[in-house]
Structure 1
Amino acid sequence: MERGGAVRCLCPPGLHLAANNKTCEDVDECQRDADVCPLRQTCRNTFGSFVCVCRDGFVMGTLKGSVQCRDKDECLTGSHWCSRHAQCVNTDGSYTCQCLEDYFGNGHTCWPRRAPQSKALMYFNYKLSKRTKQIQPSS
């Protein structure tokens, strides 16, 4: 564009004039406007524009009659990292793992709880250990 005898460059929407006043650079709409995408979506910059994509833990689908990001049920799809001795509990956008009743841990790793041995079982194991003969090495 010429203005008063001087040439001035213009950039298309989504781009801005670089510091050299000769080239156009991308505008990162995601950094400029943090709330550019709706709830459950995150902004991804593209050259000259941006797109809104579902956040981790959400998938595009039909919800209440419209297409939007809905919760991904990791427990239902099996895409969780819970121990085989834990129960997966779906949450909005994520999940938690809870060790089963006879186990303890953080849900991703669960260890068996040791039931206290009864006196009868302890006595039985003691008697059994006394019956076991140790083999003496021959000299």
Structure 2
Amino acid sequence: MCSDAADATANDTMQNVLKIIVSTSQNESHMYAAQWPATTFACSFWPGRAVERCTGPFNKTLANSILVIGNTYDPAIPFHGAKTVADGVGDQAALFRLDFIGHTSQTAPGGSSCLNDDILAYSTSSTVSITLELP
């Protein structure tokens, strides 16, 4: 987890990182962020970085479009996070909005055969059988 984190800067003091954690827990993922401050803080100062870590730019034309899946009621990664990713990729992304409670899309309570069918269709032919929320 930490090997993909951004490198620490001169501004990454304990006080500044704590402010970021508090802000995230209040504004982004208020249901889960408050539970993760220890790991979030540790990552700011983690010395190693993954060799395959990519920090951008993310402005290239992709060989295949990306299916971004967001779960409306995901307490860890709110839907607006998926929308931000899809918006960042632009017209090379399709945004699938799943309305389930819980973290992750394929293991959401009640499941979604529609989602699973669309993941398979998108993986094999870049098509989906339902109307997506386009970024």
Taking structure 2 as the reference length, what is the TM-score of the superposition?
Answer: 0.22
Larger gyration radius, structure 1 or structure 2: 1
User: Which structure is higher in helix share?
Assistant: 2
User: Which structure is higher in strand share?
Assistant: 1
| Higher RCO (C-alpha 8 Å, min separation 6) | 2
